[in-house]
Structure 1
Amino acid sequence: MGFEEVNARVEAAVERSGRAIGDVTLIAVSKVQPNARVASVLEKGCRIFGENRVQEAFEKWPDFKSRFDGVEVHLIGPLQTNKARQAMELFDVIQTVDRPKLAKTIARLAVELGHCPRLFVQVNTGEEVQKAGILPRDADAFIIECRDMGLAVEGLMCIPPADEDPAPHFDMLREIAARNGIAGLSMGMSGDFEVAIAHGATHVRVGSAIFGDRDYG
């Protein structure tokens, strides 16, 4: 499909939802993509990308950031506490804050480093044991705990179960955000980003529709 077509579909979905162009941020998920493909998307004007692994991102993005102005990289994969310092030095946004131990580590490092990436809390809306994310019933208390540590939570993120209608999960995330005064909603991927936009997404994470199938070889 490619970046231009996905971007056009995002803009069309935004217009259908009665919102302003620019209300939704398209994140190109570049994990496990060859550098040549990433460079091609950068050259087409995309500046916001998502990565799953800290080490892979470190091998890729310092160089790209030096060559292209205005690049922003989001961590959208699980973050181990022992990788938190490295993550905070590279990523502009961490979307996967999902447990008190990680939040405490980020808060401590923010003081040490003198800066903190923008933070989203990941919510496991499907309560899937194999997925990261705070459980929905614990989300309100966790958001309060993060704020009490001095962390500014600007968004929530979810990955609905692959075999379920994503709309109820998007609605659940929007309701948690609304009652906690949170504006950002990162939800929707290649197969459902238009549904996510209709349900209030402010960020959509699109990989294969932009880059093609991932190369795991």
Structure 2
Amino acid sequence: MGLEQIKTRITAAETAAGRQPGQVRLIAVSKVQPPDRVESVLDAGQRVFGENYVQEAQGKWPAWRDRFNGVELHMIGPLQSNKAKQAVQLFDAIHTLDRMSLARKLAQQIAEQGRSPDLFIQVNTGDEPQKAGVLADELPGFLASCRDLGLDPQGLMCIPPEADDPVPHFRLLRRLAQENGLPNLSMGMSADFESAIAEGATHIRVGSAIFGARDYG
């Protein structure tokens, strides 16, 4: 598909939803992508990227940040509590705050480092036992506990169940954000980002449609 085609589709989806072009931030998901593919997207002007693994991101992004101004890095994969220090050092946003043990670690590191990435709470909209995320009815209490720690979450994130129509999950996330005074919605991936934009997404996470299929070797 490619970066420019995705940008064109984002603009068309914003217009179709009655939203101003430029309201949606494209996170190019670069996990497990070969360096030449990532560099070609950097060369094309993309500056917001998503990674799933702290160690992988540590191994490649410091050098690219030295070469390309304005890079913004988003953590979009599950975050182990023992990686909180490195995550706060490296990432500008963390989309997967999903439990109090992680919230406490992040609060400690934010206080120690004086660096405060944007935080999104991951919501398990499908109530899937195998999936990370706060359950919808537990969100108000979880958010209050995060704020008691001095954290200031700015949005919600979800990954709808693969077999489900994603739209009801996007609508639930939007309602939860509105009820809890959170301005940002991280939802929508390569297969469904246009539906997510129609339902109010502020951040979409697109990988294979930009870079091509991943090679896990």
Question: Shorter-normalised TM-score: what interval?
Answer: over 0.9
Shift of 1:55: 0.2
Q: Which amino acid aligns with 2:167?
A: A
- 2:15 maps to which residue? 15
- 1:113 maps to which residue? 113
Stretches (4+) displaced over 3 A: none
- RMSD (Å) for aligned C-alpha atoms: 0.7
Q: Secondary structure at the match of 2:150?
A: coil
Task: Deviation per CA, 1:34-92: give whole Å up to 9, x if none.
Answer: 11100000111110000000000001110111110110010000000100001110000
- 2:92 maps to which residue? 92
Structure 1 segments unaligned to the other structure (5+ residues): none
Shift of 1:149: 1.1
- 1:50 maps to which residue? 50
Aligned counterparts of 2:130 and 2:53: Cα–Cα separation in 1: 17
Q: Which amino acid aligns with 2:113?
A: L
Aligned counterparts of 1:129 and 1:43: Cα–Cα separation in 2: 41
Shift of 1:146: 0.8
- 1:174 maps to which residue? 174
Aligned counterparts of 2:41 and 2:176: Cα–Cα separation in 1: 34
Shift of 1:204: 0.4
Aligned counterparts of 1:206 and 1:91: Cα–Cα separation in 2: 18
Shift of 1:112: 0.9
Structure 2 segments unaligned to the other structure (5+ residues): none
Q: Which amino acid aligns with 1:12?
A: A
Residue 211, structure 1, aligned to residue 211, structure 2: yes
Aligned counterparts of 1:38 and 1:130: Cα–Cα separation in 2: 31
Within a 5 Å distance, the mapping from 1:141-156 to structure 2 comes to 141-156=141-156
Q: Structure 1 length normalisation: TM-score?
A: 0.99
Percent identity over paired residues: 60
Q: How many residues align?
A: 217
Q: Secondary structure at the match of 1:159?
A: coil
Task: Deviation per CA, 1:69-121: give whole Å up to 9, x if none.
Answer: 11001000000010000111000000000001100111111111112211000
- 1:158 maps to which residue? 158
Aligned counterparts of 2:100 and 2:167: Cα–Cα separation in 1: 28
Residue 188, structure 1, aligned to residue 188, structure 2: yes
Q: Secondary structure at the match of 1:153?
A: coil
